[in-house]
Amino acid sequence: MNYMTIIARGVLILPAILLMSALACGGDPTPIVTSPPVAPGLLRVASTVSPITSIVENIGGTRIHLEGIVPEGTNSHTFKPAPSVARILADTDLIVLNGLFLEEPTLEMAGANKNPDTVVLLLGDRSISREDWQFDFSFPESQNRPNPHLWTDPMLALRYAELVRDELVRLDPSNAEYYNGNFNAFQARIIELDRGIRAVVQTIPIDNRKLLTYHDSWAYFAKRYGMTVIGAAQPSDFSEPSAQEVAHLIDQVKEFDLPSVFGSEVFPSDVLETIARESGAKFVDQLRDDDLPGNPGDPRHSYLGLMLQNMEIMIPALGGDAEALAQFDPSHVFEGDSRAIYPQ
């Protein structure tokens, strides 16, 4: 399909996004976004986890049809796409994944179903070399699969955005100026976020600049901002840690006198609560690594909002002050409403 020809003819139909309310188990109204029809002429892009979908959305804005695959609030590490996802992958021009072994079943499905011309972009694999792979408790070197959460370092998220920009420009050169403009705006926002995070981390007493989390997603963040990940509770097979491992973690929290330990929204677990109780640390269970805050359409429902909210939770819990980020704008950088599909 020649996008430029179709766009030039002016056959642009805005996709209708149907927002319906449904009752979630807690009784709160939760929006369900159904797939809008693809506007003729728009480049079609599929992406996996929500932080990556948000980065792609910031660059592609309203000029691409963007559909996320991994529903928010699910374990992306063990996620297996439903058979219906094969149709999205077969019907798209660009498939964006984190890579670094995070989305193997989706990558396999893409290989089996995609159009031969469809580009598969593995952002993590293209952003760092093997020497920069981080290994830890949940992602041990013995398995030769690195910690894949590169986006917790905003500068690596910027590298993701750059790779996406390059691919969008290559596939859809008629919108190159638009994609470049969005990239430049996103870059400015990332630099502001990076400076803000550096400033708020400095407010944490040096001895408290340590993280013990349930889900092990902070390796690249810690490396960039001079923090130490002293451990994680979740084993590499995403089961629960053994009694011995729990005892070891309790000893570590006591030894380092950590004020708080952190759980994750996606992985409710009693284990970290036990560790907190036994060690005297506070249990903070609201960190997020790949489900965005709020609902689609909210300004904070974005990669930038994810990082901002994590800082607002993490920094005070370690004895610091997140005030330097109070004015940070987490909304998307392009004009117009979000039209990306975030499966819930």
The CA angle 30-148-214, to the nearest 5 degrees, is: 65
Distances (CA, A) of 95 to 49, 99, 162, 164: 12, 11, 15, 10
Closest approach of Zn ion to the CB of residue 53, in Å: 15
How many chain residues touch Zn ion (CB under 5 A)?
2
- Closer of 169 and 219 to Zn ion (Cβ): 219
Closest approach of Zn ion to the CB of residue 32, in Å: 24
Which residue type occupies 154?
A: P
- Closer of 186 and 220 to Zn ion (Cβ): 220
- Closer of 67 and 289 to Zn ion (Cβ): 289
Contact 152, 221 (CB under 8 A): yes
Q: Residues 2-36, buried b or exposed e (16+ Cβ, 10 A)?
A: ebeeebeeeeeeeeebeeeeeeeeeeeeebebeeb
Residue nearest to Zn ion (CB): 289
- Closer of 213 and 279 to Zn ion (Cβ): 213
Contact pick of 57, 67, 289, 291 for Zn ion (by CB under 5 A) = 289
- Closer of 217 and 260 to Zn ion (Cβ): 217
According to CB under 5 A, which residues from 193 to 252 bind Zn ion? 217
Closest approach of Zn ion to the CB of residue 290, in Å: 6
Contact 310, 36 (CB under 8 A): no
Closest approach of Zn ion to the CB of residue 80, in Å: 16
Closest approach of Zn ion to the CB of residue 267, in Å: 9
Piece of 23-31, 129-137, 206-214, 287-295 that binds Zn ion (CB under 5 A): 287-295
Q: Which two tokens stand for residue 68?
A: 């996320």
Pick from 231, 205, 235, 243: nearest CA to 319: 205
User: Any contact of residue 72 with Zn ion (CB under 5 A)?
Assistant: no
Q: Angle at which helices 176-202 and 50-60 pack, to 10 degrees? A: 130
The rounded distance, in Å, linking the Cα atoms of 54 and 13 is: 22
Burial of residue 243 (CB within 10 Å: 0-12, 13-18, 19+) is exposed
Contact 308, 286 (CB under 8 A): no
Cβ partners under 8 Å of residue 239, min gap 6: none
| Cα torsion angle, 266, 268, 269, 272, sign | positive
- Closer of 42 and 287 to Zn ion (Cβ): 287
How many other CB atoms are there within 10 angstroms of residue 105's CB atom? 12
Closest approach of Zn ion to the CB of residue 102, in Å: 8
- Closer of 72 and 289 to Zn ion (Cβ): 289
- Closer of 67 and 290 to Zn ion (Cβ): 290
Closest approach of Zn ion to the CB of residue 78, in Å: 10
Closest approach of Zn ion to the CB of residue 193, in Å: 20
Applying CB under 5 A, which residues contact Zn ion? 217, 289
